Amino acid sequence: MKPPVPSNLGFGYLGAVATFPDAPAITGSGLALTHGQLAEASIALALGLQERGLSQGDTLALRTADPLVALASVFATALLGARWVFGHTNLLGTDRLRLDMVLDDHSLPDPAPVAVTALDESWFRPREVMPGTALSFAGFRSPDDIWMISQTSGTTGTPKLVGLPHQVMADRIAANSIRLDWQGLKLASLFPVSAPVWLTYAVTALLHGGSVRHGRDAESWFADGVGFALASPAQAKAGLTGLRPTGKVPIIQLSGGPAGEALVRHLLERFTDVWVGYGSTEGFNALSTIKSLTGDGSTNSKTVLAPGSIVEIVDADGDRLPAGSEGIVRVANGYLAPGYLNAPEASAASFRGGYFYPGDLGLWDVQGNFHVTGRSNDQYNLGGQKVNAQLLDFALLGVPGVRDAISFMLPDQEGPDGLRAFLSLEPGADMT
């Protein structure tokens, strides 16, 4: 049984490093840092932030493309009890979130639109510390204090801000730790260091003695001993399907959207298992559908819930639906986000009764596998009969002569809204 994950992951990491100080922590792209060196960098960064006035409850916005800086700053803010957010340009210079410091190492191609505190090598120079001197870091007031702040994808408008408390992050790390043996495991990723999914898995690996391989040169993953890889379906399609490796990486997890069967088949030539994750910043990784090849070369699928997670399909009244029935997806676990920051109406709409409603439609099939079938706003109500917009569009595309199709509801002030569709026809198509 694995030991419990400490609520403050900054202090927890410093304690864990004592058992593997010389083990690799960050490798690749010219980096070769041990856990001991990463711990020292985290302490140095915490001291530098503290000296410049960042304290418990303050918010740090970080701008970097460097995994060392990203991870050291995450641990440093935990030590100080400060809040961490990535300094995306759509956040800086707005009133969406009060920022106490914007820290920038100038490794990103686009300049910050606001004044920044420059981070350079001087922050990490050795300090003269008297033997026996205790480091004075406050940590959090409560494990329920917000620590990590992330933005949603913004597919429905302006990205919302999700504040994750220390305890929620610790519980997410604990759920991750159950899924794999992380000791000595090497994590690779096509996600940037700003991605919440990368940060969470990187901290999981580091806390348990694993390492992070930096760089998107995926061709070298196979000879470099990578055991677990991360990518979005789009990243995997662009960066992984053309590889010609001599071996296989054991697992890749796809996060951030659905993965088509053709992509999965391509990836299974290069990875033993493909985990198609279903999750969100708000609800974390709720489940994975694990794809693997059988002895006859066909694809086997098995949906596995994340530890402590519940994924239900319900109707508009919140009643659970049987297998095979499409409905509204809702997620529950012990590490949901508490809500959105500064957005009470959005929080009330998406977080209800202990569940998070991601806005998806889906179903559990009779074999016990989970499928996303669309978005809840993609469902038409035709006199009480629910019709899935995406399925209707696919049906129209199956009509001979139809090149493209999109359906929609046309508002009618005098009667019920009408279902309409725009069609793009092939030249010479029969319009009768």
Determine the Cα–Cα distance for residues 182 and 16; give it in Å rounded to an integer. Answer: 13
Determine the Cα–Cα distance for residues 225 and 248; give it in Å rounded to an integer. Answer: 10
Determine the Cα–Cα distance for residues 18 and 36; give it in Å rounded to an integer. Answer: 8
Q: Is there a contact between 121 and 144 (Cβ–Cβ < 8 Å)? A: no
222 and 298 assigned to the same domain: yes
- At 209 the pLDDT is 98
10 and 121 assigned to the same domain: yes
Does any domain span residue 190? Answer: no
Angle ∠(161,60,28) on CA atoms, nearest 5: 95
Give the chain's domain count. Answer: 3
Which CATH number belongs to the domain containing residue 362 in this structure?
3.40.50.12780
Of 145, 165, 185, the position where a domain reaches its end is 165
Concatenate the DSSP letters of all residues of 47-66 into one string.
HHHHHTT--TT-EEEEE-S-
Determine the Cα–Cα distance for residues 59 and 16; give it in Å rounded to an integer. Answer: 26
374 and 417 assigned to the same domain: no
Kindly report the backbone phi and psi dihedral angles of residue 389, in degrees, each rounded to the nearest multiple of 5, phi listed first: -65, -40
Kindly report the backbone phi and psi dihedral angles of residue 3, in degrees, each rounded to the nearest multiple of 5, phi listed first: -65, 155
Q: Is there a contact between 338 and 344 (Cβ–Cβ < 8 Å)? A: no
Q: Is 84 helix (H, G, I), strand (E, B) or coil?
A: strand
Does any domain span residue 198? Answer: no
Which CATH number belongs to the domain containing residue 8 in this structure?
3.40.50.980
Of 361, 379, 397, the position where a domain reaches its end is 379
- H-state helical runs in 325-432: 344-350, 389-397
310 and 258 assigned to the same domain: yes
Q: Is there a contact between 201 and 227 (Cβ–Cβ < 8 Å)? A: no
Does any domain span residue 321? Answer: yes
Does any domain span residue 210? Answer: no
362 and 392 assigned to the same domain: no
389 and 284 assigned to the same domain: no
348 and 409 assigned to the same domain: no
Contacts with 174 (C-beta within 8 Å, 6 or more apart), sequence order: 4, 5, 307
- CA 336, 356, 378, 363 torsion: positive or negative? positive
Q: Which residues of the chain have pLDDT under 50?
A: none
Kindly report the backbone phi and psi dihedral angles of residue 101, in degrees, each rounded to the nearest multiple of 5, phi listed first: -160, 135
Q: Is there a contact between 63 and 192 (Cβ–Cβ < 8 Å)? A: no
- H-state helical runs in 52-185: 67-80, 166-179
Kindly report the backbone phi and psi dihedral angles of residue 340, in degrees, each rounded to the nearest multiple of 5, phi listed first: -95, 150
- At 30 the pLDDT is 83
- At 429 the pLDDT is 82
152 and 230 assigned to the same domain: no
Q: Is 359 exposed, middle or buried (0-12, 13-18, 19+ CB in 10 A)?
A: middle
Contacts with 342 (C-beta within 8 Å, 6 or more apart), sequence order: 96, 97, 161
Q: Which residues constitute the domain of residue 63?
A: 1-165
Does any domain span residue 235? Answer: yes
Does any domain span residue 124? Answer: yes
307 and 396 assigned to the same domain: no
Does any domain span residue 135? Answer: yes
- At 416 the pLDDT is 62
Of 129, 145, 165, the position where a domain reaches its end is 165
341 and 415 assigned to the same domain: no
375 and 406 assigned to the same domain: no
391 and 419 assigned to the same domain: yes
Q: How many residues does the chain have?
A: 432
Determine the Cα–Cα distance for residues 186 and 307; give it in Å rounded to an integer. Answer: 22
Does any domain span residue 186? Answer: no
